[in-house]
Amino acid sequence: MQAVQVKINQKMAFENTTDSGNETKAARIVFHTKDLNLWYGADHALKNLNLNIYENEVTAIIGPSGCGKSTYLKTLNRMNDLISSVRITGDVHYRGRNIFDPTYHVEELRTSVGMVFQKPNPFPKSIYENIVYGPKLHGIKNKKILDEIVERSLRGAALFDEVKDRLKENAYGLSGGQQQRLCIARALAIEPDVILMDEPTSALDPISTLKIEELMQSLKQEYSIVIVTHNMQQAARISDRTAFFLNGECIEYDVTDTIFYRPSNQKTEEYITGRFG
């Protein structure tokens, strides 16, 4: 049954890619992680990870606190570089390129791999300035293009109608849920390929959470999304694939339905049924 499901999925995947051009099946893999190990000082935080992230899917990473799920997410756009005690072995390939290759500039990687953080973190600037921050960094100065980017990004994040009359006002005046959607819009503005989300709804109320979950469903048409979440129901609701992490290891990674209804590992089952975590 499980095998059949995977097969169906792969078949659908194959059809998807043939629709969009003559890419091979391998091109559908966005991130290919091979034997990834990561240490914070002496603390072995990620152990021998091997997993692939697929295009136009929502991939959820679940697991108890301290299991390494956020660490793995931050490895994908190399935000871990900011911590000086980090040591990494193994490879992560983004669209076939090793992200740890010294000739691959992290700024270039992060232009393709955007990130939304746990706590909404808009800049203390206007809504408009928040959105155009990224495009301006990359040299876009034309006012008309910037205006278009702002509208497209805000629409993409389902925020445009709520803020269209106050684009020049400070982003701190928005509610927490609106701020988080603004951060998503800000990430969309640089037209990334992948969006990483680190517990994006954990600081939000249920209604804002619902809005962002709906948003992710529409975003995955164009983007690939990796989300770390504490909330198992959320993972079950929104993701196509789920990885279960425990103590820095990837215990099980499969299509979400399989993980939640027919997990092959006993630890996964125990976690999902709430026996620990």
Partner 1 sequence: MKQMNREVVTNKMNRRLKMNTLAKWIFFGITLLILCILVILLVRIFSQGMAYFDWHFLTNFASRRAENAGILGPLVGSLMLMVVVIPIALILGIGTAIYLEEYAKKNWFTHFIETNIQNLAGVPSIVFGLLGLTIFVNVFGMGPSILAGGLTLALLVLPIIVVTAQEAIRAVPNHLAHASLGLGATKWQTIQKVILPSALPGILTGSILALSRAIGETAPLIVVGALVFVNYLPSGFMDGFAAIPIQIYNWTIRPQEEFQQLAAAGIILMLILLIVLNATAVWLRNKLNRKQQ
Binding of partner 1 at residue 202 (CB under 8 A)?
no
Give SS3 for 194.
strand
Contact 160, 169 (CB under 8 A): no
* Segment interacting with partner 1, rule: CB under 8 A, options 10-18, 40-48, 59-67, 184-192: 184-192
d(Cα 233, Cα 177) in Å, to the nearest integer? 19
Binding of partner 1 at residue 122 (CB under 8 A)?
yes
Quick one: which H or E segment has residue 246? Answer: strand 241-246
* Segment interacting with partner 1, rule: CB under 8 A, options 11-19, 38-46, 117-125, 236-244: 117-125
Residue closer to partner 1 by CB (options 69, 186) is 186
Residue closer to partner 1 by CB (options 77, 256) is 77
- Binding partner 1 (rule: CB under 8 A), the pick from 34, 93, 110, 155 is 110
Contact 106, 75 (CB under 8 A): no
CA 67 to chain centre: 17
Quick one: which H or E segment has residue 138? Answer: none
Binding of partner 1 at residue 157 (CB under 8 A)?
no
Residue closer to partner 1 by CB (options 227, 232) is 227
- Binding partner 1 (rule: CB under 8 A), the pick from 17, 56, 77, 178 is 77
Give SS3 for 33.
strand
Residues 6+ apart with CB under 8 A from 22: none
Q: Which residues bind partner 1 (CB under 8 A)?
A: 77, 79, 82, 84, 107-111, 114-115, 117, 119, 121-126, 133-134, 137-138, 170, 183, 186-187, 190
